Amino acid sequence: MRRTGIFFAYYQGERLKDFPEVLDGLLGKINVLYYDAVYSSRNGLYYLEPISEQLLLKVHSQNMVEEVKHTGDYEAALYSVGGAVQAAEEIRQGNIDNAFVFTSFGDHHAGKNFYGGICYFNGAAIAISMLKEKGTRRFAIVDTDSHHGDGTRDIFSRDGSVLHVCFCHQDYSDNYNKVDIQIPYHTTDEAYLAKMKQVFIPRVEAFKPEYIFWEYGYDTTSGEYGDKGISRDCHIRLAELVKGVADKVCEGRLIAILCGGSRRDVATYTIPRIIATLAELSNRF
C-alpha cells in the first residue's frame, strides 16, 4: 500500500472551505501522512513549511520575486509552492510514496520572469530544480488544467530532461519532450481519458522519469470557468491512470498539485477521492 502525504495550508477563498474537515475519513489511515501549515499536532503528524527565497531564485528572477512581495500574497505563495517542494523531499527521503499538494497561488502560469492567473511561483519547477541538485535526472509533468501551462513550458522549454505533456487548446510537440494535446470544448469523459491513455501514458513509459508531477486543475469540469464538458468522476479516473503509470515506471513517485478550478462542490467531491486513489483506499465518501 502506498504512503500518501497531504500538504495543506489554510488559504482564503471559497473552493477549499470544506477542507481539511472533509478529509477526516482519510487522516486516520496509517498510510496517510498529513502535513499542516498551522497545526503541527493534528494527528500528531507533520508541519508544512514555507519555501525560502533562496529556493525561489533557482527558478524565478529576482525582479519577479520582488514584484510578488508587493502583491500582498507573498507569504501565502511561499506556502503554496512549499508544499510541492516538501512533498518532493519527503518522497526522495522515502518517508512517503506520493502526495497531494493543496495550493492557492500556484502553479503552472508562473514562468521564469512572469506570473499570471494568480500563479505567482511554480512549485513543480522549484521541486524539480531541488531534486536535480540532489541527483535526479528525469521528470515528467502532466497538466490536466483546462488552460495551457505557459509558465511551466517557459521554464523547461529547452530542457529535454523534463517531459511536459499539457492538455489544453492546441496540438504541439517538439524535440525537447514538450507536448500539447488539444482538448475541444464539449468533449466527453471517454474521449479525454482516451487521450491520456493514447498520448501521455506511452510517452511516459518510453521516457522513464524518476518522478511524475500532475498539475491537477479541475476547471475543465462542466459548469466551471474552463469548462471542457467532463464530469467530476472523470478526474478520479484520471487519477487512477496517472497513479497507474507512476507505479509502473517510477515506483509510484507522484506529486499531484492543485491548479485551477473554482467550485467548492467539485473540490469537495474530487480531492478526497483522488487522495484515496493515491493511497489505495476505498473512495466511497
| CB-nearer residue toward Zn ion: 103 or 136 | 103
Grouping H, G, I as helix, E, B as strand and the rest as coil, residue 101 is strand
Nearest approach in angstroms of CB 260 to Zn ion is 3
| CB-nearer residue toward Zn ion: 59 or 259 | 259
Nearest approach in angstroms of CB 154 to Zn ion is 12
Grouping H, G, I as helix, E, B as strand and the rest as coil, residue 108 is coil
Distance between CA atoms of 158 and 171, rounded to whole angstroms? 18
Nearest approach in angstroms of CB 267 to Zn ion is 14
Hey, what's the cell of 239? 487519477
| CB-nearer residue toward Zn ion: 260 or 272 | 260
| CB-nearer residue toward Zn ion: 111 or 260 | 260
| CB-nearer residue toward Zn ion: 166 or 256 | 166
Nearest approach in angstroms of CB 148 to Zn ion is 4
Nearest approach in angstroms of CB 265 to Zn ion is 18
Nearest partner of 183 among 224, 152, 229, judged by Cα: 229
Interface with Zn ion by CB under 5 A: which residues? 145-148, 166, 168, 180, 217, 219, 226, 260
Distance between CA atoms of 220 and 146, rounded to whole angstroms? 5
Beta-strand runs (E) in 176-277: 178-182, 211-216, 254-258
Hey, what's the cell of 264? 467548492
Strand partners, 145: none
Nearest approach in angstroms of CB 110 to Zn ion is 13
What Å distances lie between residue 53 and 81, 101, 120, 134, CA to CA? 11, 20, 13, 19
Grouping H, G, I as helix, E, B as strand and the rest as coil, residue 28 is coil
| CB-nearer residue toward Zn ion: 55 or 162 | 162
Exposed, middle or buried, 243 (CB in 10 Å: 0-12/13-18/19+)?
buried
CB 5 within 8 A of CB 279: no
